[in-house]
Amino acid sequence: MEYEAVIGLEIHAELNCATKMFCDCSNRTGDDPNKNTCPICLWFPGAIPRFSEEALEKATLTALGLNCTIQERSAFDQKVYYYPDLPKGFQLSQAHLPLARNGWLDIIGEHGQPKRLRIHKIHMEEDVAKLVHETEGRTSISLVDFNRAGVPLVEIVTEPDMRSPHDAMEFIRALRTQIRYIGTSECSMESGTMRIDANISLRPKGTDQLNTKVEVKNMNSIRHLGDAITYEINRQTASLRVGEIIVLHTRLWDPEKRATVPMRGKFEGPCVPDPSVPQIAITEAWKKEMHSRLPEMPSQKADRFIKHYALTPEEAVMMSAERDLSEYFEAVVRHQISSRTVTHWIATQLLPALKERNQNITDTPVTSLRFSELLAMLERNEINANAAREVLDYLFDSDKSPADLVEHHGFRQVSDTTQLAGLVDTVLAENPSAVSDFHKGVAKAMGFLIGQAMQASKGKANPKLIREILTRKLDEDKIIDRNLH
């Protein structure tokens, strides 16, 4: 029997609010353990939580940006369980009345087809404390850091619409792009501001039943998510083939073993309405205000780039994939440089150079202004592409303007036709065999001769002019040749 995978995701994203969800303690990461704490987030008995308006705003913006419907009323419940990182015995979460429902994101499916993946609901939740496992001499000890206790989260629960590791990975990429655009979370799996659980089950292909699922946790990159799902599909297929029954449980992805390992039975504790945080009522006016605060989203921006700047759909998607990148692109284009040149140079030169140097587009010394000055010189034919690449390299380590660098290193392109014609004559005289190859119709002879001429000019010749002069002179040759016979 052939099986198909049914995959749903639960994503926790930390909201980048200034404070925690129910107190005024800082939401900064990287501080000394237990520094950002108070009686409320140490969960002392009797301390009353005060719900943060910023958390509500950022959760709402996130939900709106993910195409969800904000619910008129939502409320917090106590998710009851005990764990050393949750000594108060319950977590404040929205189990029964979530903030938002019925969202979606579009991805490109495995076979290039557009695919809409639905979001079931988005709710708000406080984070639990963090357990740190260490050794003291020969004794293993576990420490609890409450800096994370009460940090505002949204949990995004998808419908089980994904059928492959590809779908799940693309969904997370789209989600991350979208939320980073909205600016409400950093969404970094590496640093833990985004955490993903995947629910995976199998069913006979062509049926629509939902079978017992297995939950996989602990994936800290998109690649791990894909690997864990692939592993789990293979493991469950093998189990079903030998007639084993799949039991509901939680597994951990072990990146070293490249396998999922069983962790515990899935715990579903009771959820009871919380009496201390008031219900949240959302008015139309407030929702409208939140809507107006949403920035232009990536798909809208890509459409605009196609219309305004005549980019191809692929180029438009690439230039709008990250908000910072799209703003850089537009800043350069504003200097009257052709959008195709800008796209090409960002994609093939700037982005690889940034990656190599481990820099972000927001903090690189190659600012949009300096980059646009460089491309303007290229477009005015003052330098050729080779020289532009070298100047770009210098821009990373020098404060000089592109124009000064071009002067300083003598990169100015030679476009003086008399000078270039003399150079071409020399090259033709020195390479008689290439010339006769050209007349015999050997295609690469032309490339060779252009290369020789560029070399003779130390890379400064205008390659377009070189080609023109060469073509003209070789044609004249042919006429003389014909007249002689």
Of 36 and 349, which has the nearer Cβ to Zn ion?
A: 36
Minimum distance of Zn ion from residue 41's CB (angstroms):
3
- Residue 32 is classified by DSSP as P
Tokens of 420: 């270039």
Residues 27-56 that bind Zn ion (CB under 5 A): 38, 40-41
Minimum distance of Zn ion from residue 254's CB (angstroms):
34
Residues 351-370 that bind Zn ion (CB under 5 A): none
* Contact present, 393 and 365 (Cβ < 8 Å): no
Of 129 and 470, which has the nearer Cβ to Zn ion?
A: 129
Stretch in the footprint of Zn ion (CB under 5 A) among 19-27, 273-281, 381-389, 474-482: 19-27
Question: What is the CB neighbour count within 10 angstroms for residue 163?
Answer: 16
Minimum distance of Zn ion from residue 275's CB (angstroms):
20
Binding Zn ion (rule: CB under 5 A), the pick from 5, 9, 17, 25 is 25
Binding status of residue 59 toward Zn ion by CB under 5 A:
no
Minimum distance of Zn ion from residue 126's CB (angstroms):
11
Of 40 and 117, which has the nearer Cβ to Zn ion?
A: 40
Of 23 and 280, which has the nearer Cβ to Zn ion?
A: 23
Q: Please state the length of the chain.
A: 485
Minimum distance of Zn ion from residue 17's CB (angstroms):
13
Of 20 and 251, which has the nearer Cβ to Zn ion?
A: 20
The CA distance from 215 to 199, in Å, is 4
* Contact present, 14 and 29 (Cβ < 8 Å): no
The CA distance from 75 to 353, in Å, is 49
Minimum distance of Zn ion from residue 131's CB (angstroms):
19
Minimum distance of Zn ion from residue 233's CB (angstroms):
42
Helices 165-182 and 53-65: crossing angle in degrees, nearest 10, is: 130
Binding status of residue 23 toward Zn ion by CB under 5 A:
yes
* Of 484, 417, 410, residue with least CA distance to 453: 417
Of 44 and 324, which has the nearer Cβ to Zn ion?
A: 44
Of 15 and 434, which has the nearer Cβ to Zn ion?
A: 15
Stretch in the footprint of Zn ion (CB under 5 A) among 25-33, 88-96, 265-273, 408-416: 25-33
The CA distance from 63 to 291, in Å, is 10
The CA distance from 238 to 260, in Å, is 14
* Contact present, 219 and 185 (Cβ < 8 Å): no
Tokens of 287: 């929702």
Stretch in the footprint of Zn ion (CB under 5 A) among 23-31, 60-68, 162-170, 472-480: 23-31
Minimum distance of Zn ion from residue 38's CB (angstroms):
3
Of 31 and 430, which has the nearer Cβ to Zn ion?
A: 31
Quickly list DSSP for 407-426. Answer: HHTT---B--HHHHHHHHHH
* Contact present, 140 and 133 (Cβ < 8 Å): yes
Can you name the residues that pair with 457 across neighbouring β-strands?
A: none
* Contact present, 194 and 229 (Cβ < 8 Å): no
Stretch in the footprint of Zn ion (CB under 5 A) among 18-26, 161-169, 239-247, 456-464: 18-26
**Interface with Zn ion (CB under 5 A):** 23, 25, 38, 40-41
